[in-house]
A and B are shown apart, each in its own frame.
Chain A
Amino acid sequence: MSNKDEYWRANIRLVMGCLVVWFVVSYGCGILLAPALNSIHILGGYPLGFWFAQQGSIYTFVVLIFFYAWRMNQLDRKFGVEED
């Protein structure tokens, strides 16, 4: 298997991992599990499910994109496919 295919597989693994987190914080904690999580309160008076839907998911998205960009840049170098 060539270097470039290895790179692509590593990329797909990374994207899948990130999208699992993306799904869990928004559709999971923010929607499907929100009613159950609302009995827990954080940061003072925030019901947890409500917090995920209106605050937490957005913060996670930001972190997720920068994490992805950082890991991809590492992969680019590791497999020697970066731009000149």
Chain B
Amino acid sequence: MSLQLMTYLVVGATFALYIFIAIKAKASTTGEFYVAGKGVHPVLNGMATGADWMSAASFISMAGLIAFKGYDASVFLMGWTGGYCLLAMLLAPYLRKYGKFTVPEFIGDRYYSNIARVVAVICLITASLTYVIGQMKGIGVAFSRFLELPFETGLVVGMVIVFIYAVLGGMKGVTYTQIAQYCVLIFAYTVPAIFISLQLTGNPIPQLGLGSTMADGSGVFLLDKLDKTLVDLGFHAYTLQKGSTLNIFMYTLSLMIGTAGLPHVITRFFTVPKVKDARSSVGWSLVFIAILYTTAPAVGAMARLNLMNTIEPEPGVSLAYADRPTWFKNWEKTGLLKFKDKNGDGKIQYVGDKKKNEMVKVDRDIMVLANPEIAGLPNWVIALVAAGGIAAALSTAAGLLLAISSAISHDILKGIFAKGMTDKQELLAGRISMGGAILVAGYFGLHPPGFAAQVVALAFGLAASSIFPALMMGIFVKRVNNIGAICGMLSGLGITLVYIFWFKGWFFIPDTNMAPNDAAHWFLGIAPEAFGSIGAMVNFAVAYSVSMITPPPPEHIQHLVEDIRVPGIIKR
């Protein structure tokens, strides 16, 4: 069977499954729409959170980043998993005890202020929407690449699918669909990894294969061979650090805090039956995420080694351009892989020296998709990877859209401007705002401002610098009051935004940046992507000091904080 037909079949079958589940689980009450009626088992909730969390960035992009950055890409691995410890110990159980639907609702009540609630909604929408735009683009690319449609058509098909199951199903539908999507994406990610690990090292477990010796009988460790191959060609050693330690530290911290502050992930833990379940459900989420995240380093390293070995089969012997394999030709057509014969010998020189390097473009995002082809795996495996990438992008987009729609309908409309709304009207408003968000995200996806990496940085930086500190202090520091929290959120958010725009251009408009975006100009060598951690520290400091010089929160708020600190009910 041809690859094309196989891909249609596999992607089509998974889609039929998602839509079937979404229709079966149609939400009927606001509770079911937002939080699945609080009846989702912790293990299943963990699995759905895994799918919600792992987007096209985790599935398609991350292993490619690891392949080309080696050790320095560890910031993504530690950052996007370590945040779950903060979530489990500092936020999830308490927010579950509080028992409301949305993050801004908690902030508005705890800081007894509608202004605080609106500020939280603004942070939430900005962070979530920028993230959805990235997903929409991912959906468009995946559909167009594998179904061989033009990019625009692929994106519109994706928008329709997201609309159908997120808008009709609500959280209950999304939760069960995401469980199915998790199964598809984790199977699609691990199967090729197991095949490749077996080929290279003879060990079927990629996590162990990465530390094993090569299966070619040489007795050389895979990582040593990769280091040597790269260093011989003038690249940086794979397992050694290249960037500044401070930047790596801050980058990891920013991603961790951002993970714990992203509203669509926090909301997941409102959907478990008990406080006890909220604690363990975070653990289950991380188990399911860790399966992919510990496989990714093996995928990255093995893909890089296979790529190097294809281009230079023997030390000093380069592949002739005329003999290049089919996958090479296919990716050349997309423009994501480019060769330029600089010395005119008809052979491919792939070296660290920029002047001599003839692989002028190797887009890191192609590595996960190209990996099974480079390793010569069967067509069904390649089709599976396509279905997995689409599942990852769709599930995250749906979760984010839900967070946006609940912020608009529940927090802004019902909470502040139209208090007399019935449940039915609220549900309708939620669906309309979700449709609106899909159109906005689709528009930006169709006209990408060309800032995929910046979008992710902005989303995490925003969540880290604004939402997380306000939530954490709301639980752990009784003395923080309304004025302190509002000043804290605005200053943390503000300084992070200004720093990003300073180096990336105001509102990402090209050529409006105030200084060149390189390590020499950054404050203490901290990249804009890593600055969310500084923003969070500013938020903590401002909120605390402003609170100390203004009146303490009223007594009923102090009781509220005491109540959420214990799982049971306090008798007064």
Q: Are A55 and B294 in contact (CB under 8 A)?
A: yes
A 6-44 to B, binary, CB cutoff 8 A, 1 in contact else 0 = 011001000100110010001100111011001000111
| Docked complex Cα distance between A42 and B239 (Å) | 14
Interface of B is mostly: helix
Residue from A22, A54, A82 in contact with B567 in the complex, judged by beta carbons closer than 8 Å? A82
Given that A30-B78, A58-B294, A82-B567 are contacting pairs, would A64 and B85 also be in contact in the complex, using a CB cutoff of 8 Å?
yes
| Docked complex Cα distance between A4 and B276 (Å) | 17
Count of chain B residues with Cβ under 8 Å from any Cβ of A? 50
Q: Are A83 and B82 in contact (CB under 8 A)?
A: no
Q: Is B161 an interface residue (CB 8 A)?
A: no
Q: Are B565 and A61 in contact (CB under 8 A)?
A: no
Q: Are A15 and B89 in contact (CB under 8 A)?
A: yes
Q: Are B82 and A44 in contact (CB under 8 A)?
A: no
Q: Which residues of A contact B58 (CB under 8 A)?
A: none
Residue from B71, B211, B221, B279 in contact with A68 in the complex, judged by beta carbons closer than 8 Å? B279
Q: Which residues of B contact A27 (CB under 8 A)?
A: 249, 252-253
Known: A26-B82, A68-B89, A72-B279. 11 other contacts (CB 8 A): A4-B562, A19-B89, A30-B74, A44-B208, A45-B221, A61-B81, A61-B82, A65-B279, A65-B283, A69-B88, A81-B566
Residues of A within 8 A of B (CB): 4, 7-8, 11, 15, 18-19, 22, 26-27, 30-32, 34-35, 38, 42-47, 50-51, 53-55, 57-59, 61-62, 64-66, 68-69, 72-73, 76, 80-84
Residues of B within 8 A of A (CB): 66, 71, 74, 77-78, 81-82, 84-85, 88-90, 93, 207-208, 210-213, 221-224, 239-241, 245, 248-249, 252-253, 274-276, 279-280, 282-283, 286-287, 290, 293-294, 297, 562, 565-568, 570
Some 22 contacts from A to B, beta carbons below 8 A apart, are: A15-B89, A18-B85, A26-B78, A27-B252, A27-B253, A30-B74, A35-B240, A44-B212, A44-B213, A45-B212, A45-B224, A50-B74, A50-B223, A54-B66, A58-B290, A58-B294, A61-B84, A64-B85, A66-B280, A68-B88, A72-B93, A83-B275
